[in-house]
Amino acid sequence: MSMASRPKHIVLIGPPGSGKSTLSERLIQRAPLTLIATGKRLRDEIRQGSAIGRQIEARLDQGHFAPDSLMDKLMREWLTNVPPDYGFLLDGYPRSRKQAFALEGMLADLKRPLDLVIALELNINEAIRRLSGRRICEGGGEPFTLHIDDVAAMHRCWERGGRLVQRDDDRAEVIAERLHVYVEQTQPLIDFYQHDGRLRMIDAQGSPDEVAERVMALLNDMELEI
């Protein structure tokens, strides 16, 4: 199958607050991509009170990552379940060089070569502003994410009978730890993918629409139309 016709396989990395979740949702609306967002899937396990959720809840609340052994096992299972006519978009894995090597092995076994790694760049002050002001509207239908600077979105939540909830990992002290862990563990991952030519850097400043357009322009330039 040619590069142009086969499903696309993309990894999305970036610091907390860089907008990976928002960008991911926009990309999967425009292409046959299965989104594997590890943070969301792990939080779902916690909400369901599963064995996996109980195992990782304390670690995530403190700003740490789930153990590599668990993430590698879950990722192999999730990738195996991606339909053959769909590509995938990974958000939250790999987070380290060790996980990157593990992913290479999984993809070789599944015969799904990785096409592109998109790394979002965002300065620390903006990341802190975004995360500390992030809230989840719950109790008023389908939950959605908003920022406290968005007054219209807050009123929309209240009009639906919802309430604004701050995630435990968006507290100030946890944000600082999350950013520290990202730089310490994930920066070497950027170096890893930059070395083999699959990495492209994207400026994550600006609105979600602006960032999405930068990514779409990149994909078009690389003839990875999706």
Reported confidence tier of residue 197, pLDDT bands at 50, 70, 90:
confident
Whether residue 30 lies in the annotated active site? no
* Domains in the chain: ranges and CATH: 9-123+174-221 (3.40.50.300)
Is residue 26 among the annotated active site residues? no
Q: Does residue 134 carry a catalytic annotation?
A: yes
Can 178 be counted among the known catalytic residues? yes
Q: What is the pLDDT of residues 19-63, one digit of tens each?
A: 888 899 888 888 889 999 998 888 888 888 888 888 888 887 777
Question: pLDDT, tens digit, for every residue of 72-90?
Answer: 999 999 999 999 999 999 9
Active site residue 160: no
Name the pTM for this structure: 0.79
Contacts of 33 (CB under 8 A, 6+ apart): 7, 8, 10, 27, 86, 87, 88, 89, 226
Q: Concatenate the DSSP letters of all residues of the chain into one string.
A: --TTTSPPEEEEE--TTS-HHHHHHHHHTSSSEEEEEHHHHHHHHHHHT-HHHHHHHHHHHTTPPPPHHHHHHHHHHHHHTS-TT-EEEEES---SHHHHHHHHHHHHHHT----EEEEEE--HHHHHHHHHTEEEEESSSS-EEEETT-HHHHHHHHHTT-EEE--GGGSHHHHHHHHHHIIIIIHHHHHHHHHTT-EEEEE--S-HHHHHHHHHHHHHHTT---
Options 8, 130, 134, 135, the catalytic residue: 134
Task: Single out the catalytic residue among 130, 135, 178, 214.
Answer: 178
Calpha distance 157→138 (Å, rounded): 8
Catalytic, out of 97, 98, 129, 167: 167
Among residues 8, 20, 130, 135, which one is catalytic?
20
